[in-house]
């Protein structure tokens, strides 16, 4: 047993109407990876924000190396050797990569009373750091021009650069490719050798069991317990997280698939790196999965269908008639809905209430003469949505930013369901949410399919893609490389199509 580096005892934290933490304790040993697990809303992120000085606990004690400390700000946490990589990325997009890495601690040149930023030293130190971590990123490029996965890698590099003794990683692999995940694990193992403790929050069970030494599980703001990772299995973790049986990960596929009604013919983007000559049909009551690696243009495809990206050529047909979809407004008018990949960036309105977030795509439905809104009807529809989708919240007037990721995702689904869509485009609908909330999202998807709605699901999690889909269309470098039926769907078949382009068509008889 290695020494206990961090001990949090009896931590309590309450927000209006919500007891977020109830007498929670945590012990983390030096040089270990300590997984912190629980459903969304279990209190994991709140506990870590207490550690990082973002929140001040109402009660409890934090000890580092046996000494009690008061952490009232992130600056104090950093000074005590604690760094945190947040789940939601907030880079300064119009500044360079190196400026983002060294923000708040720029290397300086001094001449008497004068001082200024030493950009040369900053570039050299950034290059040395990236070489150490195996990152091939230009330090001088604007960070806003990079992909989410690269920004995630830069945030990890920033935490490493602070030479901290404790690094909190909140869903660090949510936007990383397989190779990037492997590189992250190499970095973690190297940090462990230096005696650094990693507190690792993830909903990916396989990762947890592979990388962790100890696992602490929370439920409803309280501690369930702590166990050596080698004593746990995926089934035992799930059972202790949710307190109920979740042996059936995906609902049974008992929906009826009807006739083709939505057709895409030869869709091509103006960009040379966009989609190229993509054609397929969609059927009533069908769940179509879209697979592919990062850069395969999966998101670009459904954003083009929804009118958010321009077409160079191609045609969309609904019930055999060509339609023009040049904007989200056009798509909504044609009974389409889009759940975006980054819910905090392009989904929720964080400062607005659950009520406003739920009804915002359907506001015209509530207008009456004189421009007034039918507030009673808006509240009734929101209340029904909260009840039917099991959104956990004290009231509909709570700001949506205060909800867990899974509950935010349910509100976004409720928003689109109020528009009564016939086609739902879901981009990574379960990213960053726990196993219990995932099951609820799956149940909603399958219920919609049973009602005859058509669902398109993009997912980077292969078991999920296979588990929910009737068919899986695979993209490679913007082209449709093939389609796999539900009976033939295996990880090997999907990856083969995702890495070796092969012409194919997703027709109604495929």
For residue range 62-75, what is the model confidence (pLDDT) as tens digits?
A: 999 999 999 999 99
Residues 209 and 176 in one domain: yes
In a domain, 253, yes or no: no
In a domain, 250, yes or no: no
Write down the pLDDT at residue 498: 84
CA distance 104 to 293: 35
Write down the pLDDT at residue 309: 92
For residue range 204-229, what is the model confidence (pLDDT) as tens digits?
A: 888 899 999 999 999 888 999 999 99
Residues 139 and 65 in one domain: yes
* pLDDT averaged over every residue in the chain: 88
Write down the pLDDT at residue 247: 56
Residues 90 and 193 in one domain: yes
Residues 298 and 444 in one domain: yes
Residues 129 and 214 in one domain: yes
Residues 430 and 403 in one domain: no
Question: Which domain range does residue 60 map to?
Answer: 4-242
Write down the pLDDT at residue 244: 59
Cα end-to-end span (Å), the chain: 57
Task: Say which residues have a Cβ less than 8 Å from residue 203's Cβ, sequence separation at least 6.
Answer: 37, 171, 432, 433, 434, 435, 438
Cβ atoms of 231 and 217 closer than 8 Å: no
Write down the pLDDT at residue 433: 76
In a domain, 341, yes or no: no
Number of domains present in the structure of the chain: 3
Write down the pLDDT at residue 164: 87
3-state helix, strand, coil in the chain (%, to 5): 35, 25, 35
Residues 37 and 65 in one domain: yes
Q: What DSSP element (H or E) covers 331?
A: helix 328-333
Domain end among 182, 216, 242: 242
In a domain, 247, yes or no: no
Write down the pLDDT at residue 86: 80
Domain end among 390, 420, 450: 420
In degrees and rounded to multiples of 5, residue 409 shows phi and psi of -65, -35
Residues 377 and 444 in one domain: no
Q: What CATH number corresponds to the domain at position 49?
A: 3.40.50.300
In a domain, 249, yes or no: no
CA distance 232 to 227: 8
CA distance 175 to 181: 9
Write down the pLDDT at residue 502: 40
Residues 66 and 156 in one domain: yes
Residues 394 and 445 in one domain: no
In a domain, 507, yes or no: yes
Mean pLDDT of each 10-residue bin along the chain, 510 residues long = 88 82 95 89 88 94 94 92 82 91 89 91 93 88 83 84 89 75 85 92 86 93 94 86 67 92 94 89 96 85 94 94 94 95 86 95 86 91 93 91 86 94 94 78 93 94 89 92 87 80 43
| Cα-based distances in Å from 414 to 360, 378, 383 | 11, 12, 10
């Amino acid at each position: 047993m290695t020494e206990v580096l961090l001990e949090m005892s009896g931590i309590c934290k309450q927000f209006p109407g919500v007891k977020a933490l109830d007498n929670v304790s945590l012990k983390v040993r030096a040089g270990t990876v300590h997984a912190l697990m629980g459903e969304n809303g279990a209190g994991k992120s709140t506990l870590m924000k207490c550690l990082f000085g973002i929140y001040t606990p109402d009660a409890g004690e934090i000890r580092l190396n046996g000494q009690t400390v008061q952490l009232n700000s992130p600056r104090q946490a950093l000074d005590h050797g604690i760094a945190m990589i947040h789940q939601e990325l907030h880079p300064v997009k119009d500044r360079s990569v190196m400026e983002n890495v060294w923000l708040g601690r720029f290397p300086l040149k001094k001449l008497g009373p004068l001082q200024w930023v030493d950009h040369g030293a900053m570039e050299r130190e950034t290059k040395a750091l990236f070489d150490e971590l195996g990152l091939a990123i230009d330090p001088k490029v604007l960070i806003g021009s990079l992909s989410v996965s690269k920004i995630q890698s830069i945030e990890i590099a920033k935490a490493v650069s602070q030479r901290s003794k404790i690094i909190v990683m909140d869903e660090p692999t949510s936007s990383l490719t397989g190779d990037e995940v492997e590189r992250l694990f190499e970095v973690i193992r190297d940090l462990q050798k230096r005696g650094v403790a990693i507190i690792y929050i993830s909903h990916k069970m396989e990762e947890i069991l592979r990388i962790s030494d100890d696992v602490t599980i929370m439920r409803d703001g309280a501690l369930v317990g702590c166990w050596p990772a080698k004593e746990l299995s995926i089934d035992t973790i799930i059972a202790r997280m949710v307190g109920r049986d979740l042996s059936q990960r995906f609902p049974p596929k008992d929906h009826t698939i009807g006739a083709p009604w939505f057709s895409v013919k030869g869709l091509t983007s103006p960009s040379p790196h966009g989609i190229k000559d993509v054609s397929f049909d969609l059927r009533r009551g069908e769940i179509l999965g879209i697979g592919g690696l990062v850069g395969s243009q999966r998101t670009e495809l459904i954003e083009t269908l929804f009118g958010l990206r321009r077409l160079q050529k191609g045609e969309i047909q609904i019930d055999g008639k060509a339609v023009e979809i040049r904007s989200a407004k056009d798509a909504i008018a044609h009974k389409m809905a889009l759940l975006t990949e980054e819910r905090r960036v392009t989904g929720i309105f964080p400062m607005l209430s659950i009520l406003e977030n739920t009804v915002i795509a359907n506001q015209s439905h509530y207008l009456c003469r004189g421009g007034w809104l039918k507030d009673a009807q808006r509240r009734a529809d929101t209340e029904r949505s909260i009840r039917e989708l099991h959104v956990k919240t004290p009231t509909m007037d709570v700001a949506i930013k205060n909800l867990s990721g899974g509950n935010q995702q349910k509100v976004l689904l409720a928003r689109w369901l109020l528009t009564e869509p016939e086609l739902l485009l879901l981009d990574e609908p379960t990213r960053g949410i726990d196993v219990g909330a995932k099951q609820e999202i799956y149940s909603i998807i399958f219920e919609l399919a049973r009602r005859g709605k058509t669902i398109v699901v993009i997912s980077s999690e292969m078991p999920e893609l296979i588990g929910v889909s009737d068919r899986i269309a695979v993209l490679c470098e913007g082209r449709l490389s093939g389609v796999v039926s539900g009976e033939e769907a295996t990880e090997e078949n999907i990856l083969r199509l995702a890495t070796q382009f092969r012409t194919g068509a997703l027709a109604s008889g495929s």
